[in-house]
Amino acid sequence: MSVASEKALVPFVSVDNMMRLVRSFGIERVLTDLASEIEADFKRWPLFDKISRVGSHSDVGVIELMPTSDGEMYGFKYVNGHPKNTINGLQTVTAFGLLADVESGYPILLTEMTLLTALRTAATSAIVAKYLMPKNSTIMAMIGNGAQSEFQCIAFKAICGITSIRLYDTDFSATKKVTQNLQGRGLDLVVCNSAEDAVSGAQIITTCTADKKCATILTDNMVGSGVHINAIGGDCPGKTELHRDILFRSEIFVEHPAQTRIEGEIQQLDADHPVTEVWEVMAGNKRGRSNASQITLFDSVGFAIEDFSALKYIFKNALSAKFYDYLDLIADPNDPRDLFGMLERFKA
Ligand code: NAD
C-alpha cells in the first residue's frame, strides 16, 4: 500500500479496466459518445496547441509522441506503428496516454490507449464520414481486416447507419476473424475475393491496411464517382494506400495539414495541393460534400486532439464508474522543497 497522499496518487486505467468500461457501457454507446466528444473539440479547434506528432522512425516502424492542450488540460499519447509485428505475435499499434492539469502541471490520468486508439480512430472516421458520405449510405467496403477493423465497422453502423460491410484482406484468416467477431451485431457481412470485389456497390470505402511502403490498395479505376473514401492506413512517411491519380479526382479532407502533408496520402502531392481541414466543415466554415458525384477523401493519419478528446472521455467516465486504480507516480514530500529529506527518511 502506498504512503503517498491522495493528491499525489494518479488514477490509472489498465487494459482490464478499459475493457470493463467498454463492456459495461456497450461499444456502440462508447463509440457514439467518443464521436460527440471529438466533434465538440473539433468545433473549438483554434483553441488548441497544435504541433505535428514527433516521430522516431526506423526501418521497421515508428514510435510517436502526440501532445496537445486546450489551456485547461494537457494530454499526450505514446503510440507505435510496426506493420511486421503481427508475424511475431505482437500488435502493429500499441499506445498509452496521459492527461494533466495545466494549472498545476500534475498528471490526473494515465491510461492504456491501445484499445482507446482503435475506438477513437473508428469514432473519428465515422463522425467525419457523417459530414462527407453520400446521403443514405448503407454499404461500406472494409479493406484490411486487422486490429482496427471491427471497431470501424461498428462505428459506421452506430454513427452513419451502415448496414452491410464488404470485407477483404490479403490474409483470409483476418477476414474470417472479423466475420466471427461481428456475428449478431446487425451487420450483413459479405466476404470478398479481392479489393475490386469489395468496393463494388459500396458508397464508403475504408482502407485500413498496414505495410511500411507506398502500396496501391485502390487504383483509380476502382473508385467510382460519388463515393467517400476513409483512408486510415497510410499514416507515416513512405506509407500510403491510394494510387496518386485518385487524389486528383477527390476533394481531400484532413486533420492537421502540416502533419498530413508528411504522413498522409497527400505526401504524394505538391505541398500546395488544396485540402480542407475537417474541423472547418464541422464548424460550418467550409463546405463538406457539395454534390452527389463528388469523390470525398478523408486522408486520416490520426491527430493529437482526437486522443485528447478520448482521454477526457475516459477521465470522466472511468473515474465516475470506478474503473481505475491508483498509481504512486508523483513524489510527494511533506515540505514541497524537501524532496531530499523525504528520500532520507524513507525506510525500504
Ligand atoms: P493490423 O496489422 O492489425 O492489420 C492490417 C491488416 O491489413 C492485416 O490483416 C493485413 O493482412 C492487411 N493487409 C496488408 N496489406 C494488404 C493489402 N494489400 N490488401 C488488403 N489487406 C492488406 O493493423 P491495424 O492495427 O488494423 O492498423 C491498420 C493500419 O491503420 C496501420 O497502418 C495503422 O498504422 C493505421 N492506423 C491509423 C490510424 C489513424 O488514426 N489514421 C489509427 C490507428 C491505426
Q: Which residue has the cell 477526457?
A: 312
Q: What are phi and psi of 172, to 5 degrees?
A: -60, -30
For residue range 64-115, what is the model confidence (pLDDT) as tens digits?
Answer: 999 999 999 999 999 999 999 999 999 999 999 999 999 999 999 999 999 9
Q: What is the pLDDT of residues 314-344, one digit of tens each?
A: 999 999 999 999 999 999 999 999 999 999 9
Residue with the smallest CA separation from ligand 1 atom 17 is: 170
Whole-number percent of the chain with pLDDT over 70: 98
Residues with CB under 6 A from ligand 1: 81, 83, 86, 92-93, 117, 121, 143-149, 168-171, 174, 208-211, 215, 217, 232-233, 235, 300-302
Mutate to test the pocket of ligand 1, among 92, 197, 255 (most ligand atoms within 8 A of CB): 92
Residue of the CA atom closest to atom 29 of ligand 1: 233
* DSSP conformational letter for 106: -
Beta bridge partner(s), residue 64: 55, 79
Ligand 1 center from residue 170 Cα (angstroms): 11
Report in angstroms the alpha-carbon separations of 293 from 125, 128, 133, 135, 284: 21, 18, 11, 11, 21
* Catalytic site residue from 41, 70, 169, 235: 235
Contact status, residue 204 vs residue 176, Cβ threshold 8 Å:
no
- For 219-310, where are the E strands, in sequence order? 228-231, 240-242, 250-254, 276-277, 295-299
Strand partners, 97: 77, 111
Q: Is the pLDDT of residue 2 over 60?
A: no
Q: If you measure from the C-alpha of residue 208 to the centroid of ligand 1, how many angstroms do you get, rounded to a whole number?
A: 4
| Candidate from 124, 169, 209, 218 with most ligand 1 atoms within 8 A of CB, to mutate | 209
Q: How far is the CA of 331 from the centre of ligand 1 (A)?
A: 40
Closest residue CA from atom 30 of ligand 1: 233
66 touches 77 (CB < 8 A): yes
3-state secondary structure of 325: strand
- Residue 43 pLDDT exceeds 70: yes
The SS3 assignment for 257 reads helix
Cα 301 to ligand 1 centre (Å): 12
pTM of the predicted protein model: 0.96
* CATH ID of 6-115+305-345, from 3.50.50.60, 3.40.50.170, 3.65.10.10, 3.30.1780.10: 3.30.1780.10
> Is residue 206 a contact partner of residue 146, using CB atoms and an 8 Å limit?
no
The Cα–Cα gap between 303 and 285 comes to 20
| Cβ contact 282:43 at 8 Å | yes
Residue 238 confidence (pLDDT) above 70: yes
Sequence spans of domains, the chain: 6-115+305-345, 136-302
Task: At 10, list the grid cell.
Answer: 494518479
Q: 6-115+305-345 with 136-302: one CATH topology?
A: no
Instruction: Please tell me what DSSP assigns to residue 222.
Output: G
Average pLDDT, the chain: 96
171 counts as catalytic: no
Distance 216 CA to ligand 1 centre (A): 13
Probe target for ligand 1 pocket from 232, 253, 299, with the most ligand atoms within 8 Å of CB: 232
| Averaged pLDDT, 122-128 | 98
Sequence-distant (6+) residues with CB within 8 A of 23 are none
Looking at domain 136-302, which CATH architecture does it have? 3-Layer(aba) Sandwich (3.40)
254/252 Cα distance (integer angstroms): 7
Q: For residue 198, which of 241, 141, 146 has the smallest C-alpha distance?
A: 141
